[in-house]
Copies of this chain bind each other. A is one copy, B any other.
Amino acid sequence: MTTFSEIATLLEGQAIEVPSWAYGNSGTRFNVFGTAGTPRTVEEKLADAATVHRFTGLAPLVSLHIPWDLVDDFAALRRYAEDLGVALGTINSNTFQDDDYRLGALTHTDAKIRQKAIDHHFECIDVMHATGSRDLKIWLAEGTNYPGQGDLRGRQDRLAESLRTIYDRLADDQRLVLEYKFFEPAFYHTDVPDWGTSYAHVAALGERAFVCLDTGHHAPGTNIEFIVAQLLRLGKLGSFDFNSRFYADDDLIVGAADPFQLFRILFEVIRGGGYGPDSQVAFMLDQCHNIEAKIPGQIRSVLNVQEMTARALLVDSSALAEAQESGDVLLANEILMDAFYTDVRADLAAWREERGLPANPMRAYLESGYQQQIEADRIGGTQAGWN
């Protein structure tokens, strides 16, 4: 069995990207509950994100969403973030909130609307130049609600053409990351419903196009770690959107619904070379804190990823390989479970303290007074949300 001290250094440098929108209000189609202290501006979102990083050391990057996070001067925003100790990360486009996109954006039958959606991505690329972001992430919220509504095949062809145009606009050090999603907001078909579709498109685009795997975007029962292993094997795993789910795209805190699944995913990430200093995989959160406190929700999330990463690193790989080779089903399973069942929390607390971080980031945050401060300060204005 591997010991914690053997993996301690491997935990250094772990970087989880937090989404700016996790600090704003979110909800379901039925209601959005507002909360005291919610940011009104991008700067306040960044301040909250930086707070998560300050207490955990795990979240040095912040994803932005355009147009939710549009500012006049992204270079200034970049400096603002850096002053807070964080950097700006992935840029997320949005083609689902404009009336023109009711029936599609990059796949729309109307060339003018397609061009509008493409132009929006050009704008995002401009933002990337200013922020120094590497990745343009495209979540295609389009699809159809009724059989016959759209031409499934024609939409694919238009999508391929639109993506090509966007891809060709990228600089050499920029990447396009294409997210797939099983359903929602479209209910009959989505234009990129599965990893296979995303893979087929990014494989056609070129070597700087990758797949984004959102852990909540699969059919019930899907073995997600298999997809992780497959995409790493194919060299096309670009990024994760971490969250967890019991039913649909619930966007709960990563690791909350099925901790063992998160463990298996991270084990395959490590197994397939996706973890560590040479990895090109971005590890983002994409969550909604509808009813729970947002900053603590993010702290819990990055800690969950860290704890499960530690457990996954603890797997005795050579013993496991030996058991697998010998066909000892129960022993191989036991070796994996041994690591999962190991309680790493005390070791991680010590590890943090050695690095100048609070042993218990959650308690430290709650006692810091930050929450009380923002609740006092952030009076008036319009709380940030999905708009």
Task: Name A's B-contacting residues (CB within 8 A).
Answer: 26-31, 33-34, 96-97, 99, 102-103, 109, 141, 144-154, 156-157, 182-185, 187-189, 193-197, 199-200, 218-223, 225-227, 229-230, 232-234, 245-248, 250, 252-253, 256-261, 264, 268, 271-272, 290-293, 296-297, 300, 307, 320-321, 323-325, 327, 329-330, 332-337, 340-343, 345, 362, 386
Contacts and interface: CB of A to CB of B under 8 A. Distances in A.
A195 to B, nearest CB: 5
Contact of A252 (B146, B154, B194, B227): B146
A329 B102 CA distance: 11
Q: How many copies does the complex hold?
A: 4
Contacts of A233: 153, 156-157
A239 to B, nearest CB: 18
B146 A325 contact: no
A325 B109 contact: yes
A230 B196 contact: yes
Contacts of A345: 341
B247 A182 contact: yes
B223 A148 contact: no
A320 B148 contact: yes
Given A148-B320, A152-B268, A188-B252, 8 more contacts: A30-B185, A31-B97, A148-B324, A157-B233, A200-B230, A218-B219, A221-B247, A258-B260
A234 B199 CA distance: 12
A271 to B, nearest CB: 6
Contact of A145 (B96, B145, B259, B291): B291
A153 B343 contact: no
Contacts of A225: 152
A290 B184 CA distance: 12
Contacts of A150: 324, 332
B103 A329 contact: yes
Given A200-B230, A230-B196, A247-B248, A333 B293 contact: no
B151 A247 contact: no
A42 to B, nearest CB: 20
